[in-house]
Amino acid sequence: MIKRLLTATLSILLSMGTVLAQKPEVSLSAGFADPGEWICKLLPMENGNTLFFQFSPKKGIKATVYDIHHQVASEENNQISFFNEKQLSRVYFRGLFEMNGQAVLFLVRYQRKSSTLYRFVFNGNTGKLETETVVDDVARSPMIMGIKGIPDFYVKKDPASGYYAVATLNLQTGYANREIKVTHYSPAHQVVNQLSYTSPAEQYKYLVLQDMYVHGADYVFLTTVGFNIALSRKNAKVFVTRLSNGNEKIKEQYIEFGPLRAEPLIVVKYNPANQLIYMLSAVGAKTSWQESVMHTADDDMLLKMHTINPATMELSPEAYITHPGLTAYVKSNLKNKQPYKGIIQDFRPHQDGTVTILQEEMYGTIDTSSSMVISPGLTNAGSTQLGNIGIFRVNAAGKELPGSYAIAKSQYTDHYLRPYLIYRRPEIGWNYYTEVQLTGIYNDSYCSYDYLEAADKSYTIYNDFPVNVNKRTEDHRKKRAMLSFSNSNTVVAWFDGNSVQQRYLFGEPEEQVARYSKIDMITRGPGDQSFVTLMIVRKGNQKEAHIAWVKF
């Protein structure tokens, strides 16, 4: 009854005022106690179920299954046999996926003498933990020439199937980190292929894995950076590599990046429409004559794009991406005098071969007294202001197309956040909040934004204060900075061709009532036109959580 009333109220509120390009359908679960800052994960399944995982050092892994009608169908408190539940605060997240109708969780545990990758398989209908497996265990080596001897693991799943690959890193072979072991798995967790990859002719002592793509049972595609001086990337080289099933011969190509001062930041995506792999690279601006288009605490950066035919490994010419149209919009609408230099957070290839680039201003400071990396997207040493969002589209040659726009906002968190935050979101967000950390502004889960395309429209989802939304202005100077999110509401924004329009996703704000969501928990549903997230309703000093299903 409560759920029906909440859903009806949201439908009425969403129908008021400016109509969305396509009004989303919002459904809420029955309310439950706010999990606070404990780790939670969501996984929408193809059968219509949604699994909600809560990880507690006291209770282990609690799995709640919501059925297709968004009612609780099952609850399981799962105990872990491999290690004590108290140690959950000391493990690191590497992915949560659906495979064969089951939920599959990967965690890494760093120990004094070794690093271990675990796989946990849960029943997709009951949430019961069915199997626990040690996928790989690698002994730690001492620090060698400035390179920490900490083995690590990277897990990547094929977006179109249940095949996945595990890369084992930092093997410290022969006094150098020159080898990456890649194991290709079927959806039933059977080994399809396993190869140890080194640089061509083993000419580089160190290899850094940048990204990985899995194409069914056929192949695994890698991007790596090779270098010989541990504390320098001078003369480093970038390689793209295809490891094919049933073929021990490795197909690879060297990509000319010019003289590198720092390690490039590279991600890849496959476009099934033209069967090409798109590779975007953030590169230090001083390695080229090109003017920088992005700014980080580390460097001014360029953005380059290549396409790669995985069948032939043929490379397209490099395309330097610029966005004068986006800068013009920022100056005209957001009243910013400086060129837009937001950092790339993600990108979306389209059927026509064009690509949408998602950027966000990130003004970070790094605490040099500590450099402990929590996950691929952030470190706990430093702070970040997340500013205006920039969204634009380019053609296959990297040329900006009409329709670029920006969304004004200002958020703060006590973490130094790294580029590709949205892209890396499925691999990060595993951060237990200790008493020391809570003394800072620790808002990572509520910061930044997400982006969804549905029915030829695009929508941006983020949290903001009502005072910012209700001003109905794009002027960034009039936006109040967000240090805390408990007074915010989740907003959906879209571009109407002239300016950015905004509406509250979960209904108009009320006196002493706020409805905001964990942005880092937004998880796509089947079909990519829906998502599920955790929404918090704050009434005065009381908080209640709901699972929210949103369909455009």
| DSSP-derived secondary structure for 439-452 | GS---GGGSS-EEE
pLDDT tens digit sequence for 171-200: 665 545 678 999 999 999 999 999 988 877
Question: How many angstroms separate the CA atoms of 328 and 396, rounded?
Answer: 22
Task: Give the pLDDT confidence score for residue 4 in this predicted structure.
Answer: 44
The predicted model scores a pTM of 0.90
Task: Give the pLDDT confidence score for residue 377 in this predicted structure.
Answer: 44
User: In this structure, what is the dihedral angle of CA atoms 183, 189, 192, 198, given to the nearest 10 degrees?
Assistant: 0
Q: What confidence category does residue 263 fall into, taking pLDDT thresholds of 50, 70 and 90?
A: confident
Q: What confidence category does residue 226 fall into, taking pLDDT thresholds of 50, 70 and 90?
A: confident
DSSP 456-513: TEEEEEEEE-HHHHTT----GGGPPPBS--TT-EEEEEEE-SSSEEEEETT---BTTE
* Secondary structure class of 10 (helix, strand, coil): helix
Q: What is the mean pLDDT of the chain?
A: 86
* CATH numbers and ranges of domains, the chain: 37-111+119-136 (2.40.10), 322-368+380-431+444-551 (no CATH)
Taking a C-beta distance cutoff of 8 angstroms, is the pair 73, 124 a contact? no
Nearest to 376 by CA among 299, 301, 430, 448: 430
Q: What confidence category does residue 437 fall into, taking pLDDT thresholds of 50, 70 and 90?
A: very low
- Checking if the pLDDT of 91 tops 70, the result is yes
Segment among 256-265, 312-321, 375-384 with least mean pLDDT: 375-384
Task: Give the pLDDT confidence score for residue 143 in this predicted structure.
Answer: 56
Q: Is 103 exposed, middle or buried (0-12, 13-18, 19+ CB in 10 A)?
A: buried
pLDDT tens digit sequence for 20-29: 556 789 999 9
Task: Give the pLDDT confidence score for residue 350 in this predicted structure.
Answer: 96
Contacts 24+ apart (CB under 8 A), 233-241: 233/260, 233/261, 233/262, 233/263, 234/259, 234/260, 234/261, 235/259, 235/260, 236/260, 236/263, 237/199, 237/204, 238/210, 238/264, 238/266, 238/281, 239/199, 239/200, 240/279, 240/308, 240/313, 240/315, 241/197
